[in-house]
Amino acid sequence: MRALIAEDDPVSRRMLKTFLSKADYEVVVATDGLEAWALLQQPDAPRLVILDWMMPRMDGIQLCRKIRNCAESFYVYIVMLTARTQSQDILDGLEAGVDDYLTKPFNPPELMVRLRAGRRILDLQERLVAACEKLQVLVADNPEADLQNRTSLVDIS
């Protein structure tokens, strides 16, 4: 699975990249939020993203909101990994749409468990999309299907 790291600190970025590479992730790196946004616009964009909060040009919260406001056909799982530890920071991050929130310095086994949870969610979402697409084809190809049912199915997706 491909993972994007958006982190402006070179030491943290290198640590995360090494950690994820050893865990068999294909790692893509961005040094700021704007670069991360550009990478997420690519056709083969990573669906798992680890964001730092405080980055130049576009911070992690702004990037998260931008990702969530973009109506894509696939879900992006976002982990905020930041030095910000206040309860309000955690609430703000979750409110912006992050799926998980970890503070620095991170505990490698804890990060790995949380990334596995993210992978499960992404796998489930992928299977759900595939099932919906298959169902649309089955209903559209069935001449005996009621037109109202076909119209409702298309409206649902």
Structure confidence at residue 125 (pLDDT): 87
In Å, the largest CA–CA distance within the chain is: 62
Tell me the domain boundaries of the chain. 2-129
Q: Which CATH superfamily is domain 2-129 in?
A: Response regulator (3.40.50.2300)
Structure confidence at residue 136 (pLDDT): 79
Give first-to-last CA distance, the chain, whole Å: 26
Structure confidence at residue 9 (pLDDT): 94
In angstroms, the CA 117 to CA 123 distance is: 10
Structure confidence at residue 129 (pLDDT): 81
What values do phi and psi take at 27, rounded to 5? -100, 135
Q: Which residues contact 126 (CB under 8 A, 6 or more apart)?
A: 74
Rama region for 57: left / alpha / beta (φ>0; ψ in -120 to 50; rest):
left
- Which amino acid does the sequence have at 30? A
Distance, CA of 138 to chain centre: 30
pLDDT means per 10 residues in the chain (157 residues)? 95 94 95 95 94 93 93 85 90 93 92 94 88 79 60 61
